[in-house]
Amino acid sequence: MQVLKELRKENNLSLKELGIILGIAESTVSLYENEKREPDNKMLLKIANYFNVSVDYLLGRTTMYRECASTTIERLKQTKKDLNLTYKDISALSGVPLRTIEDMFAGRTKPRINTVEAIEKALGIDRTFNNEPKCKNVVNIKLRELRKEQNKTLKEVAEALGTSHQVISRYELEITQPDFETLIRIANYFNVSVDYLLGRTEIKDSQCFNNKRLLELRKSKNLTQSELAQKLNLTQQAYARYENCQREPDYKTLCSIANFFNVSVDYLLGRTDERQERAIKEKGLSENEQALIELFNCVPEDKQALVLSMIQVALKSLK
């Protein structure tokens, strides 16, 4: 889990420190990070809860940070409401910059653990990890409910997932638990988030990259996978993984796809049914100017100032 290593380093935690927090050995954390061992569903929930990220984000199913309704941010929002505090009040009490608090509460930036700890301490919230909201692993219940809602038999689901109906039955009876790969296949098949399957949220909507839309867009241009991959400067194998929902494109590739098909990134992510084609002529912008805007819009807000400064440095070097 490369993303686990990234989250740990972002929050300045050593392998030993994270192991203590999660109640596992330092060597086990290392095995997770180097993908030599997979955490079980219970540990996935624990990691996601601690870092305030979705399980889909941990599994690489989405590159977009999305907060689960049962995580720390929701608890902070409730405490803010209960104490009748403003963002300025929280900033004054915790010493955290006002802009940081506003962005964090609005979900525009991914909260750092030390920032959350400072706010919780100021508001008198116990940061003991064992007191984190518990999320029951209900994948067996969710799987059965989704199958019945869509009037699918065990055999039909099994065939779609490339397994046997006996295996699906064992999942539903909670005799065995699906591994990472199977969790993702189930989520893709029913078009829900992994967090919904694991009971972290009651919101079904996946909001992950919509591979079906990519397929439709490619066919609308009468392009083969190889032809489109060449236009996007990708290998055919890499592109095929996107279309087969085996991997999600990063920000840069998302923007490249959106620019090529003249649609919004939100359309590719399934957040809107409107293609929102770019009105270049109406705005009086060239294609290069519009492409630059599209690329900048793909930069996370907490990184935009850095990107602007890099552009300014680049412009000076051209003079």
pLDDT at 218: 92
Determine, yes or no, domain membership for 12.
Answer: no
From 106, 131, 156, give the residue that closes a domain. Answer: 131
The Cα–Cα gap between 226 and 234 comes to: 9
Residues 184 and 251 in one domain: no
What's the confidence (pLDDT) of residue 30? Answer: 93
| 3-class state of residue 172 by DSSP | helix
- Let me know if residue 39 belongs to a domain: no
Q: Is residue 1 part of a domain?
A: no
Torsion of CA 216, 220, 222, 228, to 10 degrees: -60
User: In 3D, which of 247, 249, 250, 260 has the Cα closest to residue 290?
Assistant: 260
As a whole number of angstroms, the distance between CA 219 and CA 291 comes to 23
User: Is 147 contained in some domain?
Assistant: yes
* C-beta separation of 276 from 264 below 8 A: yes
Is residue 109 included in any domain, yes or no? yes
Q: How far apart are CA 55 and CA 66, in angstroms?
A: 9
Using one digit for the tens of pLDDT, what is the confidence trace for 3-32? 899 888 887 889 998 998 888 999 999 999
Is residue 319, in this structure, part of any structural domain at all? no
Domain co-membership, 224 together with 277: yes
232 and 271 in a single domain? The answer is yes
**Residues of the chain below pLDDT 50:** 66-70, 128-136, 277-282
- 263: in domain: yes
Claim to verify: residue 193 and residue 259 sit in the same structural domain: no
Say whether both 124 and 153 belong to one domain. no
Residues 304 and 243 in one domain: yes
Which residues is 192 bridged to in the sheet? 205
Residue 281 pLDDT = 40
- Domain span holding position 166: 139-197
Residue 227 near residue 165 (C-beta atoms within 8 A) = no
Using one digit for the tens of pLDDT, what is the confidence trace for 150-208? Answer: 898 989 999 988 889 888 888 888 778 888 778 888 888 887 877 788 776 766 665 55
Using the 3D structure, point to which of 115, 131, 147 is the last residue of a domain: 131
184 and 123 together in one domain: no
Residue 205 has a pLDDT of 61
The number of distinct structural domains making up the chain is 3
- Report how far apart the first and last C-alpha atoms of the chain are (Å, whole number): 44
Q: Give the pLDDT of residue 29.
A: 92
pLDDT for the residue 276: 60
CATH code (residue 174): 1.10.260.40
Alpha carbon 170 to its chain centroid, in Å, reads 28
Note whether 176 and 221 are same-domain residues. no
Residue with tokens 């967090």: 195
Structural contact between residues 171 and 177, judged by C-beta atoms closer than 8 angstroms = yes
| Structure confidence at residue 246 (pLDDT) | 64
Q: Pick from 107, 131, 155: which residue ends a domain?
A: 131
Domain assignment of residue 29, yes or no: no
pTM above 0.85, yes or no: no
Q: In 52-179, which ranges are continuous DSSP H helix?
A: 55-58, 72-82, 87-94, 98-106, 113-123, 139-149, 154-161, 165-172
